[in-house]
Structure 1
Amino acid sequence: MTRPLAEAPRTPHDPDARWLARVMHLAFFLLLGASLVRFLLRHDWEDRSPWIIALTGALASLYLLGPVLGTRAAPRRIAWLCTVVTVWVVLVVLAPSFAWCAVPLFYTGLRTLPPRAALGLVTVLTAFVVFAQVQLSHGGWDPNLIVAPPAVAAIATAVFVHAERQAARQRALIEDLLRTRRELAATERREGTLAERQRLSMEIHDTLAQGLSSQQMLLQAADRTWDSDPATARRHVRTAESIAERNLAEARRFVHDLAPADLAGGGGLEEALRGLATRESAVFRVDGTAVPLPDRVQSALLRIAQGALANIREHAAARSAALTLTYLDDQVVLDVADDGSGFDPAAHRPQDGVRGHGLPAMRVRAQQLGGTLTVESTPGEGTVLSASIPLAPTTEAGP
């Protein structure tokens, strides 16, 4: 169902509306001036002439007040419109040639009044135009004098109503687009927040949480050996202190969103992995010809290595572990192997306590760089974790 004209919000500041209003105002004054000139040229000076000149000036002055009163159907605007129409009706009765000033008045009435009142005004104005045309014909019968004014009024009203409804639909569409854009922006902000939370959770798990876990294990071991083997206990405490120092550096870099602490020294990924392997008593080797890696790739591979070695330390009960960084033609591969207890990857679920958050976080890191992470393991026979990152530029994939 088409919305009534009165329900369509009018925007006086719309450029098209201002342009149409200026055209109608200019047309009114042209028609009013032409009607006065026509009357003075075709009639000798008579008793009604001063009244017609005075009413013409009054009507022009009244019409100039219209833009000051706005376009809304306020009481003073309606009173102004009634006064303008009344003066025009008197002019038409005295001089029928002023009848065609009705067309701009159609527009003014349709902009100001509710639909039914506006249509009633158009009907009244049209009737006076017909009356004026009949008067100008001096009693001669011409069907066009009866049909033409209503036809012009109908066309003018239909065009105006159609334009207003089109404008209302466009405004509604613009409002829908703005609302959709706001909702999209809110969704993007929520997604960005969730992505940042996931990133921070992975960073904390792979660094701070693993470091705190190591400190706890070392301090527990120091407590057990404090009386029987003080030297070993003090060594455990010193190791826990060094881990706490690295965790502090990592925490500070989280605040500034910088690279992992092990990469901050400028030695690159190989040196960082070598230092990590030394701290975790693992073997490290490099295969292939080294090539420069983007910072994000270096950071991701280091985090994956940290998470994998933490899992080995906490869950695998392994006697040895090895890190291997391999440079291939189109990708770089990090392998982390251990000879520990192993597990069944097919039965592994992220919510399980064993290797709970580590593997999903490692997989997400690899996928975000267009890579893959695979795990090969058998209960009692150790585990091999392999992360492959393409060297060619790729579109960043989602988790």
Structure 2
Amino acid sequence: MAQSYEPDARWPSAVLHAAFFLLLGGALTGFLVRHPGDPLIPWIIALPVVLTLLYVLGPTLGGTRAWSARWQHAWLGLIVVVWTVLVLLAPSFAWCAIPLFYAGLRTLPPRAAVAVVVVLTVLVVAAQLRFAGRFDPNLLFAPPAVAALATTVFLQAQRQAARQRDLIDDLLRTRRELAASERREGVFAERQRLSMEIHDSLAQGLSSQRMLLQAAERVWEGDPAKARAHVRSAASVAEHNLAGARRFVCDLAPADLAGDGGLGAALRALAARESGGPLGVRVHVDDGGRAPELPERVQSALLRIAQGALANVREHAAATTAALTLTLLDDRVVLDIADDGHGFAPAARSGAASGLRGYGLPAMRARVRQLGGALTVESAPGEGTVLSVVVTLETPHDQESGAVR
């Protein structure tokens, strides 16, 4: 009974229960009014009381563990037997069959429920014809029509409810699959971010330290002062790398961006560290006196790109000069990294520039793609390389338009 209903279907159940009790009470009152001295009155009163108790027992025990399918069938059978006896004694109680139709349809499988409805309908027709005392076509055809209509409506509603439950289950399963897919994508994106951070900070720093220490080892005997200078430079790089690693663990911005000078000061600090030995690095910032406020993620990404590009220039390009040019406009920012190294033929070595190979250039492209920008590489054998990054900035007008949309 009630335990098989969804929460939003409780009100039809309440209406059916109320209709049953109203029909039962009306039939009892009508019999007592029409037959005040009938000897069957004690039975006519006792049987509705028993039928009421049985009918109430179903919803009461419906939520308990003991209310198994076997007990439901037994409960329905007792109700039908008591109602049948009552109808044989007083045919006016036949109209109580309509709520019993739904009790059978809710409790039994479809075929068994239809069989019970047919039996109840036959009893209703027989009781009404007996009560009328004459043949009436309306009494013969009206109850089956009502029973067929009620059964069709109920079974169709059950089918729709089952389809809705299936749709809800599919939706929940799809949401779970989507959430799992988003988690996998999030894990992949985080791994990619970590790999880029490690490559552009820790790995490049370790590479610089290795080169400085190797240079110190080569000149240790012949020029101790120069060797000590290389060692001091390596120690400075190690100190900066340590600070970057600590900030990286805490998920903060690069260490060079911790000050008040912004991206321009961070690029100058980077150039000072990378300058030394055969390579000299210059920095030029062109803001035209109208520099926009760069988002933190843009500053961090451009600084990491510059770090990766200079590390590749030092390690692979055999360059003596490199230049960082930062151009700040109202709607975009441009970062150019140029060197005078040996260069390469882009058509022959797609994906590498001045030794931009391995993970370096893909990491840069990934960073630029996350910013919605563009990265281009121009190079030719013996003519050096120019790497250019353009990132479009969101203007206040764009932000307001996005908010309106």
**TM-score, length basis structure 2:** 0.91
What pairs with 1:1-399 in structure 2 (closer than 5 Å)? 12=4, 14-70=6-62, 74-138=69-133, 140-281=134-275, 282-287=281-286, 288-289=288-289, 290-350=291-351, 354-393=356-395
Shift of 1:225: 2.4
Question: Distance between the aligned counterparts of 1:57 and 1:268, measured in 2?
Answer: 88
Larger deviation, residues 121-130 vs 238-247: 238-247
Q: SS of the residue aligned with 1:144?
A: helix
- Mapped to 2, the partners of 1:298 and 1:200 lie a distance apart of 17
Gaps of 5+ in 1: 1-9
| Structure 2 stretches lacking a partner, 5+ long | 276-280
State how many pairs are aligned: 387
Letter in 1 for 2:18: L
Q: C-alpha distance in 1, partners of 2:123/2:227?
A: 111
Separation in structure 2 between the aligned mates of residue 187 and residue 300 of structure 1, nearest angstrom:
27
Partners of 2:352 and 2:321 lie apart in 1 by 27
CA distance in 1, matches of 2:348, 2:195: 24
Q: CA deviation at 1:73?
A: 5.8
* 1:73–1:127 Cα change, 3 Å: farther
Q: Which amino acid aligns with 2:285?
A: V
Return the letter of the residue paired with 1:334.
Answer: L
Distance in 2 (alpha carbons) for counterparts of 1:145 and 1:329: 88
Query: Whole-Å Cα distance in 1 between the matches of residues 164 and 365 of structure 2?
Result: 48
CA apart distance, 1:303 = 1.0
Q: Which AA in structure 1 matches 2:38? A: E
1:219–1:240: 8 Å Cα contact kept in structure 2? yes
- Inter-partner Cα distance in structure 2 for 1:246 and 1:79: 82
Per-residue deviation at 1:100?
0.5
In structure 2, distance between residues paired with 1:36 and 1:148: 23
Corresponding letter in the other structure for 2:214: Q
| Cα distance in 2 between the residues matched to 1:18 and 1:52 | 31
- Retained in 2: the 8 A contact 1:350–1:356? no
- The SS at the match of 1:346 is coil
Structure 1 residue 86, shift from structure 2 partner: 0.4
Letter of the 1:43 counterpart: H
Amino acid across the alignment from 2:284: R
Q: Distance in 2 between matches of 1:83 and 1:180?
A: 45
User: What SS class does the counterpart of residue 345 from structure 1 fall into?
Assistant: coil
Instruction: Give 1:170 shift.
Output: 0.7
CA distance in 2, matches of 1:45, 1:291: 102
Asked if 1 retains the 8 angstrom alpha-carbon contact of 2:95 and 2:124, the reply is yes
Match of 1:6 in 2: none
Contact 2:87 2:127 in 1 (8 A): yes
Identity value in percent: 68
Runs of 4+ in structure 1 displaced over 6 angstroms?
A: none
Whole-angstrom CA distance in 2 between matches of 1:348 and 1:364: 19
Deviates more, 1:291-300 or 1:157-166: 291-300
**Are the equivalent residues in 1 in contact too, given 2:216–2:231 (CA < 8 A)?**
yes
More deviation, 346-355/370-379: 346-355
Which of 352-361 and 303-312 deviates more? 352-361
User: Deviations along 1:44-92, whole A, 9 cap, x unmatched?
Assistant: 4222121111111111111110102328762112111111110000000
1:371–1:91 CA distance, 2 compared to 1 (3 A):
same
Q: What residue in structure 2 maps to residue 3 of structure 1?
A: none
2:292–2:329: 8 Å Cα contact kept in structure 1? no
